[in-house]
Amino acid sequence: MTTEPALRVEPPVFEHHREPLGIGQEAPRLSWRTVTDLPDWLQRAYEIEIRDADADADGDGDGDGAPVYATGIVEDDACVLVPWPGEPLASRRSRRVRVRVHGRDGSASDWSPWARVEAGLLEPGDWHARAAAPPVELLGEPDGPAVHLRREFTVRSPVVRARLYVTAHGLHEVEINGSVVGDDVLAPGWTSYSHRLRYRTHDVTALLREGDNAIGATLADGWFRGRVGFEGGRTGVYGDRTALVAQLEVVHEDGTVSRVVTGEGWRCARGAVTAASLYDGERFDARLVPDGWSRPGFDDAGWVPADVVAFDPARLVAPTGAAVRRVETLAPVAVLTGPSGETILDFGQNISGRLRIRVQGPAGHTVTLRHAEVLENGALSLRPLRHAAARDEYTLRGDGDAEEWEPTFTVHGFRYAQVDGWPGAFDPEAVRAVVCHTDMRRTGHFTCSDAELTRLHENTVWSMRGNFVDIPTDCPQRDERLGWTGDIQVFAPTASFLYDCAGPLTSWLEDLAAEQEEYGTVPHYVPWIPLVFEVGPAAAWGDAAVIVPWTLYRRFGDLGLLAARYPSMTAWVDQVAGLAGDRHLWDTGFQFGDWLDPAAPPDRPEKARTDSALVATAYHAWTAHLVAETAALLGHEEDAARYAALASAVREAFRGEYVTPAGRLSSDSQTAYALALSMDLLDKPEQRERAGRRLAELVAFDDHRIATGFVGTPLVCDALADAGQLETAYRLLLQRECPSWLYPVTMGATTIWERWDSMLPDGTVNPGEMTSFNHYALGAVADFMHRVVAGLAPAGPGYRRMRIAPRPGGGLTSASADLDTPYGHAAVSWRLAGGTLTVTAVVPPNTVAEVDLPGSAPAEVGSGTHTFTVAL
């Protein structure tokens, strides 16, 4: 029987990569986590050893040969995003890294397991591939047929290693010798293609063989050429032709390298995908599959040469986060019969994904699959989809065998699916829902004694999953699915607890900065496409340029991300300062305001109770303050003083324009008081006390129902709790009458709705045109649940310092939250029985925690498991 060592180190992580193959950083920062039962353990020093992975003779990472670089003992307690200590990586170069740590108590670990990292193509000159494009006559109208491209090649000697570097104008799926490369969905994802086009690196060593080989790819329009956006959308936003960019590099036993690249010599033809649209769905005719098309020896005499079109390799970037993947499959929980006799499957959960079917029938028979989030009068409710057909069609090959099919180039938001034209008796076991989203690592959980509140949290998780389909979107189902800045601005604290989303959001912020530089402002959504709105600044939406990087710094401890985004942050605050002028009041121009205030008419969601200028000025003060804090952290002392003075001036202007001496606000609304309290806009204690009481009075006047929109909702419970109105916050949180957080739960919701009343109490859908049943923004209250209800909060960047401060209330008898922090596993759980509160906390190694329990003096504890008991 073996025992775990008292002190061990997990394999190091590179930047925020789950899969450090083909990364874009030449000097990736390192993070490692120590696992130990030693109490109060703090790191004193570390050692890092780097070896050449390519020289590891047997490939097991056991260190064949001398280190490339060894730090020796470094007296430093850092273990998160530690600077790369060795020579920078060159393109294609791989290294193995391991770490050993030393504690302040004299303890020392063994070496961690090896972790491998490999650079992608870091310079534009590394690309030998050109863009191979199907001729225009093969493409048809946008969202038309997908096109195959192929080429054969010969491998003349044994292969040691093979890498495929690939991207596309459009969506792609690559095959080598009949096998699909990788498991990405909707590759290469959506970036601001005119600035950044993401490529991905695949290890394809196992797919090659000596002798004849073939590589092929299927291209569809996707975001590049297909329809994107609402109000009819746009097509051809980034170009009128799809194209493949692929570079296969093969390292042979004799040390030579051979390449197969896109350019001349590729041939193409249409295939079985006769139409592919992100919104409308996919049509697939299995009779048209060119059997063996991605294998050697296929007769492509009837295919036509691909064109070589221009592309700029300087736009190619490696990913900073995981790809979209199939992450889960769901079986139907019920088979329903619609009012016209139609077969409807209920999967029990609203998701982003598509269906996988297994069907047998005659050749030419077509099965149609339609998707919807909810039912209305027993039938699919299709009106909320607007101009998204969300319909997939499969035409059978009919060769006598069962045929399995799943769409490749589309995704839908749905809980219910209608199956039409099924040949023979329908078997629900033949259909599965495939959940597709960015393959992020789950990090945070919450549960409590109130089952409906726990379900609300689970709904928030599912809405994040459904709306992180490469970029953070508003909704996954209708003709929109855009990267709205306001949504992620309010949701970022919740998102960064639930999942390790630093990598994906780093990429999205790169796009935001690129488009901000092009347009001179932060667009309302990123990537930006011209639709109904003019590109221009809007408070709370454009403030994402400041608040999202700041949130990621606080939650993941990434100061480098703040440094990278600093020019974007300052450009935003400077722009707003110019708009506000010497009065320091942002009271001109278009604003979304407290969007979707429940009092707003269904067709006028911007008509909120709170003055939009008050909202805008409050945000201006807050983001100026955050930029001042950022400047100080980065050592920009003059900037720090300048932005601190600006924030102070805006706060003073806010008070002069919108606050009475007694602490009442000109907009007598929940959102106005939540903003003033949460963003520290009231300078006198008596003003704060009066504002807190007035907020509680307003909530009580509204029968403890929600009266806030996108802006006020994430703040109102915190504002109440901080003002000493905790029970009012709980009554608001636990309200079940509409509008409230729990009303949708009582109506059977499995995700967060866009509107508080997306479904009316009689089961009909809200008449507004804009009605989604999967929008994460209003689920931002989950952050309050983590920090205040359960009591687990960051008190320092990356949870290096934690705050354990549960605030029981609302009749709850227990709650818990756990989080996989950058330093390790943290958790808080509490139980209330007989007037006694028992709190158990887990503090990760190399961190400390502030403990602040009701009725007890604050204390500080080190790592380990701690139990506290207090009388309430």
Bridge partner residues of 349 (DSSP)? none
Element (H, E) at 691: helix 685-701
Give the integer Cα–Cα distance in Å for 214 and 133.
18
Element (H, E) at 574: helix 559-580
Contact yes or no for 608/598 (Cβ under 8 A) = no
Output the DSSP codes for 131-187.
Answer: EEE--HHHH-STT---EEEEEEEEE-S-EEEEEEEEEEESEEEEEETTEE-S-BSST
Is 480 in the active site?
yes
Element (H, E) at 395: strand 391-395
| Angle between helical axes of 726-733 and 713-722 (0-180°, round to 10) | 150
Pairing assessment for the beta strands 859-861 and 848-851 based on DSSP bridges: antiparallel
- Closest C-alpha among 448, 672, 494, 526 to residue 195: 526
Produce one character per residue of 813-851: b if its CB has 16 or more CB atoms within 10 Å, e if not. ebbbbbbbbbbbebbbbbbbeeeebebebbbbbbbbbbb
Give the integer Cα–Cα distance in Å for 722 and 383.
42
Contact yes or no for 680/651 (Cβ under 8 A) = yes
Tokens 């509680």: give the residue: 696
Give the integer Cα–Cα distance in Å for 72 and 86.
12
- Closest C-alpha among 620, 681, 675, 631 to residue 655: 681
Q: N- to C-terminal Cα distance for the chain?
A: 46
Give the integer Cα–Cα distance in Å for 385 and 160.
50
Give the integer Cα–Cα distance in Å for 489 and 472.
10
Catalytic residue among 754, 769, 850, 860: 754
Catalytic residue among 15, 249, 480, 510: 480
What are the tokens at 474?
A: 């508003």
Is 754 in the active site?
yes
Query: Cα angle at 867 between 865 and 871, to 5 degrees?
Result: 165
Which are the catalytic amino acids? 480, 754
